[in-house]
Chain A
Amino acid sequence: MLSRRNPQLNAHGELIHLLSIEGLPREVLTHILDTAGTFLSVNEREVKKVPLLRGKSVFNLFFENSTRTRTTFEIAAKRLSADVINLDIARSSTAKGESLLDTIANLSAMHADMFVVRHGESGAPYLIARHCAPHVHVVNAGDGRHAHPTQGLLDMYAIRHYKRDFTQLTVAIVGDIVHSRVARSDIHGLTTLGVPEVRVVGPRTLVPGDLRAMGVRVCHDMAEGMKGADVIIMLRLQNERMTGAMLPSAGEFAKTFGLTPEKLALAKPDAIVMHPGPINRGVEIDSSVADGSASVILPQVTFGIAVRMAVMSIIAGNEA
């Protein structure tokens, strides 16, 4: 009989894989954020390394290329003393016709303890988690349009760091929501942590009305979306995912939804501006905003290492 239990949690409700923020209880998210706080200070020590994952092997399986995300996971694992193996998987086994599960079985035979998986297909990390050995843990580093939970968690960490309390906030997520796994992970994180108003802002082609089902307010007008916002999360316009005429042009998008100082002025005076990177200056975000005092884009990168250390150390310490 198939278990109806969340595959990310063991029978005690402890996190054993991180596949999606969706379905995780608030306490689990808060525990990750609290733990990340501990690791943030480790990254400032003279010795930026702790022995929690000593003797463990973490395999970075990036079926879809992403140097930046892979590097942050690599740094996080190394600061936990794990051995890190980066596999250029897209150009090796799969190119030779090996199935995903055969690849996983082979790597498991090499005594892997953790897989960090980036895959173009939504759900691939779930498949791996379901078929790997009980002692192996899986972290989703982005799957298709579905989820990017560590990015979502680092965004939650940044918001808590600057705003302290989630329960009084208005958060606007702006841009290409429909293609964005970051947006989906952020929405699940924000609603679980008690943010009363989450807005998704963009043109109808990139922000479909059915997103309301996720408990968010849909805004097709930038001024309406910005008004009174405490936190603005700008998303990258994903040119490589743009198929068909979803936008007249990047220039048109920049004019209407690009974050300029004038549009930012509609938000609260102490609003923060976030972006998962890499940023397209002059498209979704004006340089003066990206480099301005409201921007927390670079601290997000720093928090990302600590959050990934927290996730890896929590799941590796829990048994299936």
Chain B
Amino acid sequence: MSTLSLDAEALYTELLGGVRPLLQPDTALVGIWSGGAWLAERLQADLKRAGPCGVISSALHRDDYAARGLAGGGDVTRLPFAIDGARILLIDDVLFTGRTIRAVINELYDFGRPHSVDLAVLVDRGGRELPIQASFAAAKVVLPAAQRLTLARGVGGRFAFSLDPKD
């Protein structure tokens, strides 16, 4: 069991700096539900970008539906701007196998054909199973597959990571 300690607030500051070079004036931030959506919402405010950010869910395109069934979580994809021709910057908390990213790109294409899709994450924990990379990761760590790294949003919107054994 790794006893790695990740300071999510410090990493958020890194992420804030790291996404700036990836942004063009018309880039739209889209957070992956749920941790990535919290991050995108805060980035949208801290970067003083106009309008709301987007939120996207992987639920309807997951490749483990046959094994896990339909994940709960309700109606979460909200893209309050046109996707056709848009520059999209996906934001997520943890990049692991890459399967969630594959699923949300499919979800994105149900709304149109974006000009480009980029990815920035708080933590890249290794263990990729698909050829997917982030353009920016505030931290890169290697964690055993048996551990789950979860972002939580606490009082005042402060972020914290927890590291637990998988069920």
The residues of A with any CB-CB pair to B shorter than 8 Å are: 14, 31, 34-35, 37-38, 40-42, 45-47, 49-52, 313-314, 317-318
Contacts and interface: CB of A to CB of B under 8 A. Distances in A.
Most chain A beta-carbon contacts within 10 A, residue among B68, B70, B77, B111? B70
B72 interface: yes
Contacts of A41: 75, 77
Given A14-B69, A317-B70, A318-B69, A38 B60 contact: yes
Contact of A317 (B57, B69, B73): B69
Contacts of A317: 65-66, 68-70
Interface of B: 57, 59-61, 65-66, 68-70, 72-77, 106, 109-112
A42 B61 CA distance: 12
A45 B106 CA distance: 13
Contacts of B112: 46
A138 B75 CA distance: 25
Most chain B beta-carbon contacts within 10 A, residue among A31, A37, A50? A50
B111 A34 contact: no
A41 B76 CA distance: 10
Contacts of B72: 31, 34-35
A164 B86 CA distance: 35
21 contacts: A14-B69, A35-B70, A35-B72, A37-B74, A37-B75, A38-B75, A38-B76, A40-B75, A41-B75, A41-B77, A42-B110, A46-B112, A47-B109, A47-B110, A50-B60, A50-B61, A51-B106, A52-B70, A317-B69, A317-B70, A318-B69
A37 B73 CA distance: 10
A14 B72 CA distance: 12
A45 B78 CA distance: 11
A77 to B, nearest CB: 15
A162 to B, nearest CB: 16
Contacts of A52: 60, 65, 70
Nearest to A310: B70
A51 B66 CA distance: 11
Contacts of A34: 72, 74-75
Contacts of B70: 35, 52, 313-314, 317
Contacts of B68: 317
B110 A50 contact: yes
A137 to B, nearest CB: 12
A31 to B, nearest CB: 6
A40 B139 CA distance: 38
Contacts of A37: 74-75
Contacts of A51: 60-61, 106
What are the 8 closest A-B residue pairs judged by CB atoms, nearest first?
A: A317-B69, A37-B75, A47-B110, A50-B60, A34-B74, A38-B75, A317-B70, A313-B70
